[in-house]
Chains A and B, each alone.
Chain A
Amino acid sequence: MIRFEKVTKTYGTTSQPALDDITVDVERGEFVFIVGASGSGKSTFLRLVLREEKATSGTVLVAGKDVAAMSSWKVPHLRRQIGAVFQDFSLLPSKNVYENVAFALQVLGRSRSDIAETVPETLELVGLAGKEKRRPHELSGGEQQRVAIARAVVNSPSILLADEPTGNLDPTTSLGIVRLLDRINTTGTTIVMATHDNDIVDKMLKRVVELDDGRVVRDESSGVYGSKR
Chain B
Amino acid sequence: MRWQFILSEVGIGLRRNWAMTVSVVLVTFVSLVFIGLAMLAQQQVSTMKDYWYDRVQVSIFLCTADSLAPSCAEGEVTPSQRDGILGDLEGPDLAPYIESVQYESKEEAFERFQEQFEDTAVVDNVTVDVMPESYRVRLVDPEEYEVISQRFDGLDGVEEVVDQGALLDRFFQFLNGLTLGSLILAGVMLVAAVLLVGTTIRLSAASRRRETGIMRLVGASNTLLQLPFLLEGIIAVSIGAALATFALWLGVRFGVPWLESNLPLFDYIDTGAVLSVAPWLFLIGLVLAGVSSLVTLSRYLKV
Residues of A within 8 A of B (CB): 50, 72-73, 75-80, 84, 90, 92, 103-104, 106-112, 151, 155
Question: Looking at B2, B213, B217, which has the most chain A CB atoms within 10 Å of its CB?
Answer: B217
Cβ B303 vs Cβ A107 within 8 A: no
Cβ A107 vs Cβ B1 within 8 A: no
B residues near A92, Cβ cutoff 8 Å: 210-211, 214
> What 6 additional pairs, Cβ within 8 angstroms, besides A104-B214, A106-B2?
A76-B216, A78-B219, A92-B210, A92-B211, A107-B5, A155-B219
Cβ A90 vs Cβ B210 within 8 A: yes
Count the B residues whose beta carbon is within 8 Å of the partner chain — how many?
Answer: 18
B residues near A106, Cβ cutoff 8 Å: 1-2, 5
Nearest chain B CB to A160 CB, angstrom units: 12
Task: Report the separation of the CA atoms of residues A73 and B303 in the bound assembly, to the nearest whole angstrom.
Answer: 8
Question: Looking at A50, A79, A80, which has the most chain B CB atoms within 10 Å of its CB?
Answer: A79
Task: Report the separation of the CA atoms of residues A75 and B302 in the bound assembly, to the nearest whole angstrom.
Answer: 11
B residues near A109, Cβ cutoff 8 Å: 1-2, 5
B196-216 interface mask toward A, CB cutoff 8 Å, 1 = contact, 0 = none? 000000000000001101111
B residues near A104, Cβ cutoff 8 Å: 214, 218
B39-65 interface mask toward A, CB cutoff 8 Å, 1 = contact, 0 = none? 000000000000000000000000000
Cβ B224 vs Cβ A107 within 8 A: yes
Query: Of B1, B5, B213, B222, which one neighbours A73 at CB under 8 angstroms?
Result: B222
Cβ A108 vs Cβ B210 within 8 A: no
16 residue pairs A–B, Cβ–Cβ below 8 Å: A50-B217, A72-B222, A72-B303, A75-B303, A76-B303, A79-B216, A84-B217, A90-B210, A90-B213, A90-B217, A92-B211, A107-B218, A107-B220, A110-B1, A112-B1, A151-B214
A residues near B2, Cβ cutoff 8 Å: 106, 109
B residues near A78, Cβ cutoff 8 Å: 219
B residues near A90, Cβ cutoff 8 Å: 210, 213-214, 217
Cβ A76 vs Cβ B1 within 8 A: no
Cβ B219 vs Cβ A77 within 8 A: yes
Interface check B221, CB cutoff 8 A? yes
Nearest chain B CB to A57 CB, angstrom units: 23
Task: Report the separation of the CA atoms of residues A75 and B216 in the bound assembly, to the nearest whole angstrom.
Answer: 9
A residues near B215, Cβ cutoff 8 Å: 107
B residues near A72, Cβ cutoff 8 Å: 222, 302-303
A residues near B211, Cβ cutoff 8 Å: 92
The 6 closest A-B pairs by CB, nearest first: A80-B219, A79-B219, A109-B2, A104-B218, A76-B219, A107-B220
Nearest chain A CB to B189 CB, angstrom units: 36
Residues of B within 8 A of A (CB): 1-2, 5, 210-211, 213-222, 224, 302-303
Known: A75-B303, A76-B303, A92-B210. A108 touches B217 (CB 8 A): no
Question: Looking at B216, B218, B219, which has the most chain A CB atoms within 10 Å of its CB?
Answer: B218
Task: Report the separation of the CA atoms of residues A86 and B210 in the bound assembly, to the nearest whole angstrom.
Answer: 13
B residues near A84, Cβ cutoff 8 Å: 217
A residues near B5, Cβ cutoff 8 Å: 106-107, 109
A residues near B213, Cβ cutoff 8 Å: 90
B residues near A108, Cβ cutoff 8 Å: 218-220
Task: Report the separation of the CA atoms of residues A90 and B303 in the bound assembly, to the nearest whole angstrom.
Answer: 17
Q: Which residue of B lies closest to A103 (CB)?
A: B214
Nearest chain B CB to A131 CB, angstrom units: 19
Nearest chain B CB to A96 CB, angstrom units: 15
Task: Report the separation of the CA atoms of residues A79 and B211 in the bound assembly, to the nearest whole angstrom.
Answer: 16
A residues near B219, Cβ cutoff 8 Å: 76-80, 107-108, 155
Cβ A80 vs Cβ B303 within 8 A: no
Nearest chain B CB to A68 CB, angstrom units: 15
Question: Looking at A78, A103, A107, which has the most chain B CB atoms within 10 Å of its CB?
Answer: A107
Question: Looking at B219, B220, B302, which has the most chain A CB atoms within 10 Å of its CB?
Answer: B219
A residues near B220, Cβ cutoff 8 Å: 76, 107-108
Q: Which residue of A lies closest to B302 (CB)?
A: A72
Nearest chain A CB to B104 CB, angstrom units: 78
Task: Report the separation of the CA atoms of residues A107 and B4 in the bound assembly, to the nearest whole angstrom.
Answer: 11
Q: Which residue of A lies closest to B217 (CB)?
A: A84
Q: Which residue of B lies closest to A93 (CB)?
A: B210
Q: Which residue of A lies closest to B220 (CB)?
A: A107
Cβ A80 vs Cβ B222 within 8 A: no
Q: Which residue of A lies closest to B5 (CB)?
A: A106
